[in-house]
Structure 1
Amino acid sequence: MLQHFQQKHNLSRNTLHNGAIHHIEFSHDAKCLATSGQDKVAQVCKLPFSRFRGETGSVFIGHDNAVRSIHWSHNNQMVVTTSMDKSARVWLADSDVTSLAFHGVPPASASPGKIKSSGSATRAFNSSSAKKVTKQEIVDAMFFYMDKFIVSGCGNAIRLHQFELDELHARAQTKKAKKNDILVEENKSRKKKVAEWTIDAMQSLTALTCVNGSFLSSVIIAAGSDRSLRILDAAVGGKTLRVISDAHVRAAHTVALPKASCFTSHPSNFYDLLLSSAPNSTIHLWDIRADNCVMRFGEHVNRVHPLGVAFSPCMRYVATGSEDRTTYLYDIRKGRCLRKLTGHTDVVTCVAFNPLYPQLATSSYDGTIRFYSDTDGT
């Protein structure tokens, strides 16, 4: 049981971020931890903290508002960040230069030049007489299908992009920046939207996730403002395989799938499980092959903030943050809380399991990250 606080990895407040930390995620080789915060910054930190003391591999500066999420590519060479500035950015993990940027788009009803295709995808053309309209936020963005695509959610649409990064440009610019060289070379990174699926039944997406791990999966999970969960298959044109209506009393703010690892193996049906979390202090465990809720977890406190939730690699536990400054560890089979991990002084925003070792990391609005293990004194 991951209940022992690892004091040796503890860093003082604001060592990593100047303010709240919104999201954390281990690299697949567990050598780095990606973090994003309210200070408009995301970064890659070297592990373990006991050795590197918060030393960063790269600091990603470029967003104009809080960075709400950061996700690794499967090959550990790239990260994608999503911000409240209504954009997402792709970076090389060892470079501090933005390689690609994705921006939110105006609502379909606000685009006077909109052309609707025969499918669900839409396109817009520029109009000189069009008034300036507010862009919609990008809910989240992540790598998909073994890093071949980037999937993002904006408004009530799911977008799929192919991309190619100009690694030479990104690394050259980083090197030049350190030498105070202002020469700007052409960035030949490219992206191409290959699909867009609009879900007319909802006003906006509230959460998005997909598998990008040790096996190929074309499934995308979306939560919406209509309180539904939808399972889509990108391989068949974004076809909706299943709709779970009224999944929660309020719209889910987080959805999570098990993360496959080359260091653990489970029966294939384990990867049909899905977690959804909503601001009514409930987490639901679903089997995506059915409509019914398999298990309900409801001992934590969540009334306002989006909080992280995660499966443990062993698939025995579910971890979640909480607004009572506590991390909750639930038994996935019985639905009851096994441990309450204290120590943070503000809302626990995100939880992440180490993919290689028995370790749990938690982040908080208090600007700190805490690590827990299964043995005392480590």
Structure 2
Amino acid sequence: MVQWLTTSQWRCIHTSKAHQGLHAGVNSVAFSPCGRVLASGSDDQTIKLWDLESMLEIQTLIGHRAAVRQVAFHKNGHILASGSVDRTINLWDLKSNSKIKTLFGHYNEVSSVAINSNDNMMASACSDGEIKLWDLSRKEEIKTLRTSDSRIIEAVAFSPDGKVLVSGGWDNTPRLWDIESGQPARNFAAHSNKIRSIIFSPDGKFLASASQDKTIRLIDGTTGSESVLQAHTKAVVSVAIDPSSTNLASGGDDKEIKIWDLKTKQEICTLSGHDSYVMSLAFSPDGKFLASGSHDRTIKIWQRK
């Protein structure tokens, strides 16, 4: 594909030196449900809130004692969850920009958090191979899900209807979980290396996993067909799907972002500009913007033309 013909669909409208310091890579970015606020979690142990229009910092949330691996919004827009290498999850009240509660229970670093707003439930994944489900109303643990081999889980995500949980990690396998029983419900074809990120499309039709093996594996929930997307030259670390479930974005250790057409499974364009790994991607709720967080300590905002 001739890349110089295709990059015009998106343009970088803002680059922010988001987090400062030698160890300040941006591990996670997430848009608020209203689309006006962007949250970022960093190796510098902080979460920052940004005004999307100006990209000026609104607030810095301090409460972790190690790197923040992931941030996630509740659909009410008032609660933010953050998972950290310090083995805890913090819940934040964004009305007062204060910490609601710190959740303990993991015995190793928290690698991923996901919120099922329909049932007011949160899932957290740990590098010891455990997934914990939490009741966000009571701020209490509901149950623990365990893999058979206790290998590191890198990512968890709920389906849009909240009925299914998916996980991916160092066993290379996308795994669906029965939330009621706490047991694995289905495994899909494995990658040849560990999974770094996994998501459902907003319409619930696709499941996408990004892997250290340089590929994205795309599963069509309607037909059961599986496609392998190949374009990155190094590990694929992050994936995001736009609200219309039309385009997928992938970012990797090659410092590039690829935009894909979900229908044709073809690469549309490549977005370049980061100086290090692209750790996290998020589409805005209206699909007009894409945020990318990088190990180079910056956040870039890309606008669809």
Mark yes or no: TM-score above 0.5.
yes
Match of 2:212 among 271, 279, 288: 279
1:312 aligns with 2:242: yes
Contact kept in structure 1, 2:237 and 2:252, CA below 8 Å: yes
Give a deviation string over 1:61-89, Cα, whole Å, max 9, x none. 11111111100001111000011112111
Tell me the amino acid that sits aligned with residue 251 of structure 2. Answer: G
1:298 aligns with 2:304: no
Amino acid at match of 1:373: Q
Q: CA deviation at 1:323?
A: 2.0
1:280 to partner: Cα distance: 1.1
Which residue number corresponds to residue 97 of structure 1?
98
1:286-333, Cα deviation, whole Å (9 max, x unpaired): 13467652x211111333xx7210112222221011222221112223
Q: Which residue of 2 aligns with 1:114?
A: none
Q: Secondary structure at the match of 1:248?
A: coil
Distance 1:347 1:203 in 2: 24
State whether structure 2 residue 166 is matched by structure 1 residue 221.
yes
Structure 1: give runs of 5+ residues left out of the alignment: 106-134, 165-189, 260-269
Q: Map 1:124-203 onto structure 2 (within 5 A).
A: 135-146=107-118, 148-154=120-126, 155-164=128-137, 190-203=138-151
Distance 1:272 1:240 in 2: 20
Match of 1:231 in 2: 176
* Equivalent residues, number: 296
Query: Which structure would you say has the larger Rg?
Result: 1
In structure 2, how many angstroms separate the alpha carbons of the residues matched to 1:156 and 1:291?
27
Counting helix residues as a fraction of each chain, which structure ranks higher?
1
Name which of 272, 279, 288 aligns with 1:358.
Answer: 288
Q: CA offset at residue 242 of structure 1?
A: 1.2
CA contact (8 A) 1:3 1:372 kept: no
Match of 1:124 in 2: none
Cα offset for 1:341?
0.9
Maintained 8 Å contact 1:346/1:365: yes
Determine helix, strand or coil for the equivalent of 1:253: strand
Judging by fraction of residues, say which structure has more strand. 2
Q: How does 1:337-376 map to 2 (within 5 A)?
A: 337-375=267-305
In the other structure, the counterpart of 1:61 is 62
Instruction: Say yes or no: does 1:248 pair with 2:191.
Output: yes
CA RMSD of aligned residues (A): 2.3
Question: Percent same amino acid among aligned pairs?
Answer: 22
Give the alignment's TM-score, normalised by structure 2. Answer: 0.88
What is the CA-CA distance between 1:163 and the residue it aligns to?
3.2
Give the alignment's TM-score, normalised by structure 1.
Answer: 0.72
SS state of the match for residue 70, structure 1? Answer: strand
Aligned residue type for 1:281? K
C-alpha distance after superposition, 1:346-372 (max 9, x if no partner): 222221111114222222122222222
The answer (yes or no) to whether the contact 1:256–1:276 under 8 Å persists in 2 is yes
- Give distance in 2, aligned partners of 1:202 and 1:243: 16
Q: Residues 197 and 344 from structure 1, CA distance in 2 versus in 1: closer, same or farther, beyond 3 angstroms?
A: closer
Separation in 1, partners of 2:223, 2:173 = 14
Deviations 1:114-145 (A, max 9, x none): xxxxxxxxxxxxxxxxxxxxx32222222224
2:4 alignment counterpart = none
- Structure 2: which amino acid aligns with 1:225? W
Q: Which runs of 5+ in 2 are unaligned?
A: 1-6
The match for 1:29 among 8, 28, 34 is: 34
CA separation in 2, counterparts of 1:357 and 1:229?
Answer: 26
Q: Is the 8 A contact 1:104 1:137 kept in 2?
A: no
Query: Which residue number in structure 1 is paired with residue 157 of structure 2?
Result: 209
Shift of 1:22: 1.1
